[in-house]
Structure 1
């Protein structure tokens, strides 16, 4: 964040965690009314498209919703739309659609789909920095994975789970723990049947490992991680991942004092990022360009890119405020629903407690009255005995 000749670790704290969106898009096909199996096959074939064109992902998801009444397909469509909005950093809309997917989840018997949506919900809460809810959903998703009767089918789901945990532990604990989970995520992908097809997850894990190594001031391992992230991004031609990997490498060169090489890489990243509307990526690129141009005393270029950085930063803040407000509203809705469901039980328990209190109060009042009556009788008896004794003593005299 500061003007620098060597980027301090503080700068790296704002590096971006990719929202692991695993799913499943199409190449601009106009979807007519089809049976659910046909639509499902299209989804499975068209993986990774959201990194290239999230708007197409959203459009396709909406077309699926219009074309089917199948609950499972609708859940996938809602999740798909949510993923698209996540890629655009529009967390307000993303949350809206993942909530719709969750509302339908009790109606499905598809365990894999439950794993997918529960994992996505954990990702969404992480995006909104509600970490306890994120971990809660990731725990549920991991349990579903470990209980699944075909363990070879859930390696990718477990990989996503572990990588997202890495994001959280990086922010809440330390990079050492985060790196361990990034590695666990990569190991799960390596066990899957389609390593190349899931290169996006590996690229994301490697990129975030690079960020951790920058925080630890280990430029050698950081460079290696970013280069690996870049290679896996090229496997699937994912523009967003390519841009972030290039930006990460540029940070290494800046830390090493090679400002011209950093500037060259950042311009490559800027060209790559034109294919995707990612404000966070552009913000980081503009910041990097402004700082590197300042380091080599090119003031006009510094002012140009610093202003671009500030403009996007303001836009990001506006979106973040909307997302924060919406997340609070979602929490209110969640608690309202819980309260609604729990009210009958609460009223029943309250009624029982009230009856018990009334009975106890009545018992105590009656007991107290009886004790008073008994005491009065004892006092009267004592007075009578004392009177009789005094009379006897008088007669003796």
Structure 2
């Protein structure tokens, strides 16, 4: 689900005003590489970013670079370049792109459970939204901010606030055409909202939402119906309704997503283990419980490696900044020493001359 949210954050238009430059045309031609060859898109975007001095083209190239890095799962580089995008947008008083990069940055932080950093950036994005008027074709950005902020509150187990922001996002999406991206976001919100409703004791409301996702005529992008299915299975198992849980589990083909969505895979294995335990099939229980733990370890390893890369990058930037400060301080002190030496020499010669006279 988190990988899908990355994709959804990129699938809205990036407006280009005025006459297109040659670099803009190159970016247009490279746009389709986002899913077919994201590494090539990284190369093209980086080259244009270094070559152009035109702000609109530069910020657009940076956006394409971030999008490609999101697909590649390079969270540390996404965070680094989102911060660069925010800085560039601020320098050019471009509030819309500030909101765009802040929302992407907040999403990256929530993916590695750095919720305080996620909330700080999303709060800043929301504050900007409140003081600017987004054109209708960019309302999707506003919905994304509310959506991701809802997820952060959900991660913090603050489900009342999470539901509030999910509802705000739905209000925005209601104003947009029913395209795949919008439909997918609505389904994702219904799934997240259902999880929160169950957490605060409103199990029947949660069950109804999950059922609505399963009955939806439009599937959207990703594995929404599988997420709704595991949500319902979880409710059935808590009720010890093994018949309904078992029937629904049979409709889930783990091979469809095992290589692509670790979060969904871990939930599926946990529920299979729980179902096996309740049926007193302890051999199968141990099998699925082991699979569940393996996926959890993979998720934990990925998050730890990402955080380590962030720490290394931060330390490298800190050392680089300190080295620059040390060099600057050395130059400043050297100049002062030279000036003092010249002044001392001047006054010495002046006093000696005065003595001889």
Verify same fold: TM over 0.5: yes
Equivalent residue, structure 2, for 1:303? 286
Q: State the shift of 1:36 in Å.
A: 2.0
Structure 1 residue runs without a partner (length 5+): 1-15, 26-32, 348-397
Q: State the shift of 1:186 in Å.
A: 0.9
Q: State the shift of 1:304 in Å.
A: 2.5
In structure 2, how many angstroms separate the alpha carbons of the residues matched to 1:41 and 1:192?
Answer: 27
Equivalent residue, structure 1, for 2:62? 75
Distance 1:104 1:188, change over 3 A: closer
Asked if the contact 1:166/1:178 (under 8 Å) is kept, the reply is yes
Equivalent residue, structure 2, for 1:290? 273
Distance 1:159 1:228, change over 3 A: farther
Do structure 1's residue 65 and structure 2's residue 45 form an aligned pair? yes
- 3-state DSSP class of the match of 1:257? coil
Equivalent residue, structure 1, for 2:75? 94
Equivalent residue, structure 1, for 2:142? 158
Equivalent residue, structure 2, for 1:170? 154
Do structure 1's residue 189 and structure 2's residue 170 form an aligned pair? no
**Superposition RMSD in Å:** 3.8
Equivalent residue, structure 2, for 1:362? none
Q: State the shift of 1:78 in Å.
A: 2.2
Q: State the shift of 1:60 in Å.
A: 6.5
Q: State the shift of 1:293 in Å.
A: 1.5
In structure 2, how many angstroms separate the alpha carbons of the residues matched to 1:260 and 1:290?
Answer: 15
In structure 1, how many angstroms separate the alpha carbons of the residues matched to 2:329 and 2:131?
Answer: 33
- 3-state DSSP class of the match of 1:160? helix
CA deviation map 1:4-38 (0-9, x unaligned): xxxxxxxxxxxx7677322447xxxxxxx975257
- 3-state DSSP class of the match of 1:297? coil
In structure 2, how many angstroms separate the alpha carbons of the residues matched to 1:116 and 1:232?
Answer: 30
Structure 2 residue runs without a partner (length 5+): 12-20, 50-56, 331-357
In structure 1, how many angstroms separate the alpha carbons of the residues matched to 2:179 and 2:329?
Answer: 51
Q: State the shift of 1:63 in Å.
A: 6.3
Distance 1:105 1:172, change over 3 A: closer
Do structure 1's residue 327 and structure 2's residue 310 form an aligned pair? yes
- 3-state DSSP class of the match of 1:268? coil
Equivalent residue pairs, number: 311
Q: State the shift of 1:83 in Å.
A: 2.8
- Taking structure 1 as the reference length, the TM-score comes to 0.66
The structure that has the greater radius of gyration is: 1
- Larger RCO: Structure 1 or Structure 2 (Cα < 8 Å, ≥ 6 residues apart)? 1
- Out of 12, 24, 39, which is 1:36 matched to? 24
